[in-house]
A and B are shown apart, each in its own frame.
Chain A
Amino acid sequence: MDHLPKGIQTVIKVIDAVGEWSGRIVGWLIIPLIFALTYEVIARYGFNSPTVWAYDTAYMLYGSLFMLGAAYTLKKNGHIRTDIFYDRWSPRRQGWVNAISYLFLFFPGMLFFLISGLDATIHSWTILEKSDFSPWRPPIYPFKTVIPLTAFLLMVQGFSEFLKSLYAALKGEWL
């Protein structure tokens, strides 16, 4: 870290903290997911009155969980990659390949993901769209907002990863 300008160090630290905390918050969605579906089974067999809300609740929690967890997973280097060649490369080469990949593969893709996700989300908020899946008809617009939010979190975390790769490319060692 010594060779890195203070400003950039701070940027990496702040972003990584955001990524870490996004995961520490989003991860807990698993608990209401377990509760909702367990309750549904109990209500069906125990009280002979299945719920009207379990189905919508389940997919909304699950969909938000894996999407919003993507940035945290990126921070943990957890997204599936094929490392048969990558692992044999020097840190310098890994850094260059990574940095270039972030620049040309990652950021443009996520930017378009953000824009089109935002477009669909805004339309959904405009017509105050409800769920198509049950007469409970909960609002669906917060759920659609998960898409642009995921893209945004990924771009922020990706920026930190890009800086780290650049460091490896220039210094020949990973931070």
Chain B
Amino acid sequence: SAQTKVYTWKIQSAFAAGAYEYVNPKDLVARLEEMSGGRIKVEILPAGAIVPAFEVLDAVHKGVIDAGHGWSGFWGGKHPAVALFGSPGGGPFGMGSEDYMSWLYIGGGLDLYNELLQKELKYDVLAFPTSIDPPEPLGWFKKPVKSTAEFRGIKFRTAGMAAELFKEMGMSVVILPSGEIVPALERGVIDGAEFHSPSADMSIGLHTVRKFFHMPSVHQPTGNMELIINRKKWDELPSDLKAIVRAACIAETLYFSLKHLDQNVKDLDAMVTKHGVNVVETPKEMIMEMLKAWDRLAERKSKESPFFGKVLASQKVWAGRMVPYRLVAHPPYDTIADYYWKGVNPYKVVKP
């Protein structure tokens, strides 16, 4: 009967086993198995085990794997609008992680993403967020960078829409999967790199090859990882298991994000105190330059692709409700932070 049938899935991640991001699908799978009382059984595999990292979306579409874990920036070549989901840049329009999350779940963002995957790109899949990510640091450099003018001539690893953004600002950009970044820095193929978060960066060893860690940045102020499920595999599930998958993803999205916050604090501390990493503050003018570059880029992309324009407009409308409300209703962050923590600088942050 439907109540006793066991559904066995093979899920492959686009992240390497050693990367911090791989904790996300592992926890998700444990949650799924527990919540379903063993009616969903999953074998979870790291990047490359069955298909290469960047082929995960296609492989789910064709059912080579039943579901895939990843981040939409890895399939950024499929459609420009893909990048607005996993890696929205430039604010997005002032939305923080919670606002972006509300756009995804309540404001129609997720529906737009599935429309993009299914209708525009003709993939037979469904996507569910599995994390909401903290703002990404600007990244790792050979020496402190004072202005965006210094971007010219730097060969830099990034991914998603940030690739276009950094290129817009004069960098020479390559997109490499998690396992290839540190080797490329070691060999000097690239000068600098940004990956994801202090924890994720530390998990792949970025702190061992570069010592100047710049933050903050607006190339990807928030974002999310995702579970992509093959349509047939999804349709096969009875409705209670569908509800369990949905709920497990939402629970993991929240829980992983909280865990990630804690881990980031621990790891940034360890990098500064034990590994000689210098945290460098990105000057305000650089942030302004990045916002302007993002707007130029977004405008151009909207002209090239109507669907990109549609998603961007949806984000702007949502931000137009969230951000003014936040400005009125939320107490001023700097005031409170300064009241309790003025002068506290555990990470010995320096200006470039």
Binding site for B on A (CB under 8 A): 44, 48-52, 55, 120, 123, 126-127, 129-135, 137, 140
Across-interface contacts of A49 in B (CB, < 8 A): 152-153, 172
- A133 and B155 contacting across the interface, CB-CB below 8 Å: no
A127's closest neighbor in chain B, by CB? Answer: B121
- B172 and A133 contacting across the interface, CB-CB below 8 Å: no
| Docked complex Cα distance between A49 and B156 (Å) | 12
- B78 and A133 contacting across the interface, CB-CB below 8 Å: no
How many residues from B make CB contacts under 8 Å with A? Answer: 23
- B163 and A134 contacting across the interface, CB-CB below 8 Å: yes
> What are some 19 contacts across the A-B interface (CB < 8 A)?
A48-B153, A49-B152, A49-B172, A50-B155, A52-B167, A52-B172, A126-B122, A129-B77, A130-B77, A131-B77, A132-B76, A132-B78, A133-B54, A133-B175, A133-B176, A134-B175, A135-B163, A135-B167, A137-B77
Across-interface contacts of A120 in B (CB, < 8 A): 58
Across-interface contacts of B167 in A (CB, < 8 A): 52, 135
A73 smallest CB distance to B (angstroms): 24
Binding site for A on B (CB under 8 A): 54, 58, 74-79, 120-122, 152-153, 155, 163-164, 166-167, 172-176
A139's closest neighbor in chain B, by CB? Answer: B77
- A50 and B172 contacting across the interface, CB-CB below 8 Å: yes
In-complex Cβ contact of B164 among A51, A132, A135 (8 A)? A135
- B153 and A127 contacting across the interface, CB-CB below 8 Å: no
| Docked complex Cα distance between A131 and B164 (Å) | 13
| Docked complex Cα distance between A134 and B122 (Å) | 23
B162's closest neighbor in chain A, by CB? Answer: A135
- B58 and A134 contacting across the interface, CB-CB below 8 Å: no
B269 smallest CB distance to A (angstroms): 34
B74's closest neighbor in chain A, by CB? Answer: A132
A47's closest neighbor in chain B, by CB? Answer: B153
B170's closest neighbor in chain A, by CB? Answer: A49
Across-interface contacts of A129 in B (CB, < 8 A): 77-78
